[in-house]
Structure 1
Amino acid sequence: MAFAASMFAVTLANQSIQAATQTRALNTNPTKQAQANTVYMMFVFLGGAVGAVLGPAAFEIGGMALVAAQASALVVAGLIAWAAATRRNRQSRQQDKADHVAVEAEDRRTRQTT
Structure 2
Amino acid sequence: MGRVECTETCGTLTFPAEVDLSNGDAILAQAVGLLDSGIPALILDLTGCTFCDSNGLNVITHSQMRATELGVPMWVVLPPRGIVRRVSEVAGLPRRVAIAPDVATAREALAAAAP
TM-score by length of 1: 0.24
Who wins on radius of gyration, i.e. which is larger? Answer: 1
Which fold has the larger relative contact order, with Cα–Cα distance below 8 Å and residues 6 or more apart in sequence?
2
TM-score by length of 2: 0.24
Structure with a larger share of its residues in strand: 2
